[in-house]
């Protein structure tokens, strides 16, 4: 089966990542080790797909600064097509301050920089890079008016939409929600959107029902160590997570979203695409960093083969 084109719309940041023994309490000062890594939800998702052998286009905005040049180079080296990336004079590149404890938990604060100034016009211009029958992945780090324009162009361009509503923000129109083919929130995002606290597949089912009422065609909720839950108008199922030692959860959701899109674009059935994306996320959390922790297709296949052997024993 021919691979469908893939394009991502989202944010890119330089991550200032402090590895600490544990996350601090308010007012507390801790010692940590600093690393500077490429990041940003959209960039992480695009890199996840590229590591799996895809050549996705990516729209983002970078400042004309040292960080922007480093981030652009990192995307290109990962195999992401950067011809739709905007280099913005006089604007700083996005920056994130990330703290990661030894248990893998993290805290993140973001200065969006140039990411914040994406507009309906700049996004419309970038849609010129969307190829026929493409899958388009968007996240909520770019401004709502820009997302609205992207979704409005779906009918004319003929693409399919995967929408990761992170970070959740208000203002998305009813028409925009109805244009979404796959909505992929995590537990906290699901709670913000529905008021339902997701702890297991049962509560995920209740939340997914509410999300379908928004008009999206399918809902895919990630539940961290519990797995993932899928629901559309004709079927629903939950899949357990793969047991791994968690080192760093930074970028796990991005790894999942980028991989899910990549496998769908390769013609993998939805259930199998979710399972394979969960394997990508499991490998991601077993390593430090965001983009640096994204696995290759060969690594994913080896991991899944090992899981199959363990299931048969």
Residue 162 to residue 218: CA distance in whole angstroms:
9
Alpha-helical segments (H) within the chain: 41-51, 66-78, 120-126, 144-152, 154-157, 174-178, 187-194, 201-212, 252-265, 270-285, 297-312
Q: Strand 135-139 vs strand 86-88: parallel, antiparallel, or unpaired?
A: unpaired
Q: Which of 15, 65, 248, 254 is catalytic?
A: 254
Convert 36-68 to b/e letters by CB count within 10 Å (16 or more is b): ebbbbbbbbbbbbbbbbebebbbbbbbbebebb
Contact between 294 and 280 under an 8 Å Cβ cutoff? The reply is yes
Q: What is the dihedral of CA 299, 302, 306, 311, to 10 degrees?
A: 100
254 included as an active-site residue: yes
Two tokens at 101?
Answer: 């404890």
CB within 8 A of 309, min separation 6: which ones? none
CB within 8 A of 225, min separation 6: which ones? 241, 246
Residue 180 to residue 197: CA distance in whole angstroms:
23
Active site residues: 254
């Amino acid at each position: 089966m021919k691979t469908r084109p893939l394009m991502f719309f989202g944010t890119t940041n330089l991550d200032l990542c402090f590895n600490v023994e544990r996350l601090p309490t308010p007012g507390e000062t801790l010692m940590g080790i600093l690393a500077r890594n490429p990041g940003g939800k959209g960039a992480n998702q695009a890199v996840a797909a590229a590591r799996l052998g895809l050549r996705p286009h990516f729209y983002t905005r970078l400042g004309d600064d040292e960080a922007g040049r480093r981030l652009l180079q990192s995307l290109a080296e990962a195999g992401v097509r950067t011809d739709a990336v905007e280099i913005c004079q006089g604007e700083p590149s996005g920056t994130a301050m990330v703290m990661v404890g030894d248990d893998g938990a993290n805290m993140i604060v973001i200065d969006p920089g140039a990411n914040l100034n994406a507009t309906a016009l700049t996004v419309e211009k970038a849609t010129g890079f969307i190829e026929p029958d493409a899958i388009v992945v968007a996240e909520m780090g770019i401004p709502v008016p820009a997302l609205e324009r992207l979704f409005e162009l779906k009918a004319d361009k003929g693409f399919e939409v995967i929408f990761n509503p992170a970070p959740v923000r208000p203002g998305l129109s009813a028409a925009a929600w109805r244009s979404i083919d796959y909505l992929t929130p995590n537990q906290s995002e699901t709670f913000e959107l529905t008021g339902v606290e997701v702890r297991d597949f049962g509560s995920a089912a209740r939340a997914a029902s509410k999300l379908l009422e928004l008009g999206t065609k399918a809902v895919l909720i990630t539940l961290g160590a519990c797995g993932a839950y899928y629901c559309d108008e004709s079927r629903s199922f939950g899949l357990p997570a793969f047991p791994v030692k968690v080192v760093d959860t930074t970028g796990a959701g991005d790894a999942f979203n980028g991989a899910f899109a990549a496998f769908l674009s390769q013609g993998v059935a939805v259930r199998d695409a979710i399972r394979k994306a969960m394997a990508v996320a499991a490998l991601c959390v077993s390593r430090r960093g965001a983009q640096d922790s994204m696995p290759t297709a060969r690594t994913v296949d080896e991991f899944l083969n090992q899981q199959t052997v363990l299931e048969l024993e």
